[in-house]
Amino acid sequence: MRSEDEVIFTLESIFNLGKALSVAKGIDEVFKVFLLSLMGKLRMAKAVGFIIDKNELKPIYSCCSEGVTVMKINPRFIPHGLTRLNDSVIRKFGRDLRSFIRRNRFDYLVPVIWSYKGGSENLGLIFLGGRGKLTNKEIEYVNFVANFTAISLKVMLSIDSLKKNVYTLTMLNEFMQNVFLKNDEGGILNLLALTLIGHFRVNRVVIVKFDGRAHIIFSYPQGQVKTKFLREISKRGGRSDTPIFFYEGNMGRFALLLEYDGRDGKKSFSEDEKNLIRTFFTVSMNAIENLKMLNLRHDVELAYEIQKNLLPREFPENPRFEIGALFLPSRVVSGDYYDVINLSDDEVLLAIADVCGKGLSASLLMSNLQALLHSFILFTTDLVNVVGLLNKMILAHTSSEQFITFFICKVDLKNFVLEYVNAGHNLPILFSNSRFTLLDEGGPVLGVIESEYKLGKIELKRGDLLFLYTDGVTEAINVKGEELGVEKLIEFIKRHRNLSSGEIINSVGEMVSSFSRGVEQNDDITVLVFKIK
């Protein structure tokens, strides 16, 4: 009868725990429910719960424990289940954690591990004390409840991450909308300063230009910055512990310096915060460069240099693929755009676009597209999300006469998969053995209507060749008034696909030039070739 009562009591405990976890509204409540359940069931006198963030333990909930603070931990030494804290276990931890365990006389460590197909993730640690040896049934109960709690904790962490991403993208979207409304440099920099002060625990924003020496071009609030501080920044090239973010463009090299307000005791930014601050700074400086370019009006030579700097100066070096590109503007400046972004050793992102229109206005819209794409990629590489955000921004901030055809793809060389979204662009061509595929999944052009976009996915093989181009290639006209067309282009590439990417690019350029000899072409020509070795 005792054993049956014990089982019923355990099931009742699990039922009550599940009920409490289902109504928990945050990570701290999940830990509180878990700890109080264990303390009540196992008659523990003290407990503390930590979230694992990379190599740090961050306290979430504590009961009757002393000296609870952030501590370092090596994930390699985290056990896989409830573990008795004897000397052989404790000595594996760092000094601060060892001292914390011994000072509080904790008896047990309970890891909270989320297991999934193919692996597991350490989410948190629980320390328990004030109780002797546990029975086998109690140990089994603790491990079961820890696994049960891990599911709730993972859900909460995922929700928090999603909320954070939504908040970040919303803040970035609002900032960009306001930047687009500014028509002077001072207004843009004031907006940048107020945004940083409002969101990132800083009380002073300084922008420095490096022009042989470091000199201040902007300070908010207005006031002197110590000369000694500037000399240190100039001499050390930004290797100071002070939060510094750099921008280098056509106007020169600049640094954004921030001074903490000290309210929460923190002296550093998280990586996510650094990425967001860097994005705000880059967007602001890009907007100022665009204003200066407008003020220069018809100085197209400078505009051409700006555009060249927006395009990749060099491609990622990787023994598994090769890349070639051709860029021939019909005027000095162009509305065509291509990009190659190395995401990791196994993933590379390719993009190509054609802005409706010619000359300076198309070039300006192209530069905004480039800035937006690079900003969004910092926070997500989900192609459907990226294209959707680009469409919303272009739609909100361009006239109805302007739109962009756009294609973006992500090449996964680990799994040999190509993911892509085509927003009304000329259909890229994937050549595989003797066959070819036109990549048409996606949606409408950017900047015309609100729309959802579909993701295309296709398997890759060694030797496959991806050919991206703008309509200046297929719409090239000869002396008879005939267009080159897609069919001639496909047949030409089939005959030359065994060449290297660079040789294919040169051959295509010569073919288009030969076909249209004697006729002035009115469209930009851009080609991007990606070949898997």
pLDDT digits (tens, 9 = 90+) for 79-94: 888 888 999 899 899 8
How far, CA to CA in Å, does 255 sit from each of 208, 219, 245, 370?
5, 12, 6, 21
Q: Give the Cα separation of 207 and 197 in Å (integer).
A: 14
Q: Give the Cα separation of 522 and 517 in Å (integer).
A: 13
Q: Are strands 456-459 and 465-469 parallel, antiparallel or unpaired?
A: unpaired
What H or E segment, with its residue span, contains residue 412? strand 404-412
β-pair partners for 512: none
pLDDT at 30: 79
β-pair partners for 249: 252
Average pLDDT over residues 1-11: 50
**Confidence category of residue 442, pLDDT binned at 50, 70, 90:** very high
- Among the listed ranges 31-35, 89-93, 482-486, which one has the minimum average pLDDT value? 31-35
pLDDT at 264: 57
Q: Are strands 442-443 and 417-423 parallel, antiparallel or unpaired?
A: parallel
Average pLDDT over residues 432-452: 94
Q: Which candidate, 153, 134, 154, places its Cα nearest to that of 38? A: 134
Whether the predicted pLDDT of 105 surpasses 60: yes
pLDDT at 1: 39
- Among the listed ranges 31-35, 162-166, 169-173, 441-445, which one has the minimum average pLDDT value? 162-166
pLDDT at 134: 84
What H or E segment, with its residue span, contains residue 155? helix 136-181
**Fold that domain 183-292 belongs to in CATH:** Beta-Lactamase (3.30.450)
Q: Higher-confidence residue: 356 or 531?
A: 531
pLDDT at 54: 79
Instruction: Return phi, psi of residue 15, to 5°.
Output: -60, -45
Residue 316: asked if its preceding bond is cis (omega within 30°), the reply is no
pLDDT at 113: 85
Average pLDDT over residues 48-65: 85
Whether the predicted pLDDT of 443 surpasses 90: yes
- pLDDT averaged over every residue in the chain: 83
For the segment(s) 314-358+388-532, the CATH number from 3.40.50.720, 3.40.50.2020, 1.10.540.10, 3.60.40.10 is 3.60.40.10
Share of the chain above pLDDT 90, in %: 28
pLDDT in tens, 444-458: 999 999 999 999 999
**Fold that domain 2-162 belongs to in CATH:** Beta-Lactamase (3.30.450)
Average pLDDT over residues 153-180: 76
Share of the chain above pLDDT 70, in %: 85
Whether this prediction's pTM lies above 0.85 is answered by no
pLDDT at 8: 43
- Among the listed ranges 30-39, 245-254, 328-337, which one has the minimum average pLDDT value? 328-337
β-pair partners for 442: 422
Whether the predicted pLDDT of 11 surpasses 80: no
Domains 2-162 and 183-292 alike in fold: yes
- Among the listed ranges 36-40, 229-233, 312-316, which one has the minimum average pLDDT value? 229-233
Q: Give the Cα separation of 117 and 58 in Å (integer).
A: 27
What's CA 501's distance to the chain center, in Å? 29
Domain assignments of the chain as residue spans, ordered by start: 2-162, 183-292, 314-358+388-532
Average pLDDT over residues 208-224: 79
Q: Cβ of 349: how many Cβ atoms within 10 Å?
A: 19
Q: Which candidate, 11, 80, 13, places its Cα nearest to that of 42? A: 13
Instruction: Return phi, psi of residue 26, to 5°.
Output: -170, 175
pLDDT at 405: 95
Q: Higher-confidence residue: 241 or 268?
A: 268
Q: Give the Cα separation of 184 and 188 in Å (integer).
A: 7
Q: Are strands 465-469 and 429-432 parallel, antiparallel or unpaired?
A: antiparallel
pLDDT in tens, 190-201: 999 888 888 887
